[in-house]
Structure 1
Amino acid sequence: MATIFSGRAPSLVSPAIIRRRLPLVGVFFVVSVGFSNLCPPLHSPFYIKTGSAQSLPSVPLLSTQSADKTVHAVKMEANSDTVPSIVVYVTVPNREAGKKLAGSIVKEKLAACVNIVPGIESVYEWEGKINSDPEELLIIKTRQSLLEALTEHVKANHEYDVPEVIALPITGGSPQYLNWLKNSTRD
């Protein structure tokens, strides 16, 4: 299996075999993380009372403790060392454009970190035509308060007429990372 993903022997395995085995990743995820971690809590506004879900156990299958140390996660609103933070997705046409935009975002302290994910394919409708283009994805970690300035920066420095800027909330995580995010961005 290691040779499949390392690229050493790509002709030995057909894409059909890889596609058939990929659903196992989802099963492994559910078993590792636990079904209860995938469902909203009963007090969540997203919980829909159906009657059958109430009988499921809510015991996580993955422990957050190891023998030598404990993992501590924090909710954003519960820690004064952090600020409300977001992850922003921006697609770019190629690596050069991504590196240039990512560098300018971090230099301006509009984000603490930008990941560049290569090799995505975007299928979309534009001007009445279905398009399919190779792109790269920027995953930008920043303060929620910087979204408007970040959006304006992307629009001013992006070659697309309508660049993608989609923000998702960070609801918790490593206190040290979230504190670093806060300290690495402007107020």
Structure 2
Amino acid sequence: MLPDDLKTQAAALLERCKAASLMLATAESCTGGLIAGTLTEIAGSSAVVDRGFVTYSNEAKAEMLGVDPALIAQQGAVSEAVARAMAEGALARSRADIAVAVTGVAGPGGGTATKPVGLVHFAVAHTGAETAAHHEVFPGNRSAVRWATVEKALAMIDAAVRPRERKPEAP
């Protein structure tokens, strides 16, 4: 089920997190748990993965992650502001050092002129740093959008982990 390239990417990321003593959490909407599923496909991932929140509905985003319903009403569930709030909520409601959040329109329906099918907002929150956000519009069908989202989310976590890796001690 899991593409080999994603399994390799996830395994390398987990090793970097483990070496840096970092725990991860996920907050997922359009991927429905695929990011957490990809990470936990790797044996030993329990040393790094604290928990995953699947918050497909707006109510789940509010109840599980503390996303303000007014923010969702104002910005829409598929927005940078909501992705940031999801990541920050996952970080606050877990033992994790880094949390990734994704919210988007996987399709085939649900897109609009301003929020087309394939649009995904990402955010990575981590202790001691500003929350990073990014968005992309991925081509392809629902499955392609979801797997591309997993790949990008892992890359964003990796970018957050690399500066935190332990440096060799000076002699």
- Alignment TM-score, normalising by the size of structure 2: 0.26
Higher strand share: 1
Q: Which has the higher helix share?
A: 2
Work out which of the two has the higher radius of gyration on C-alpha atoms and give 1 or 2. 1
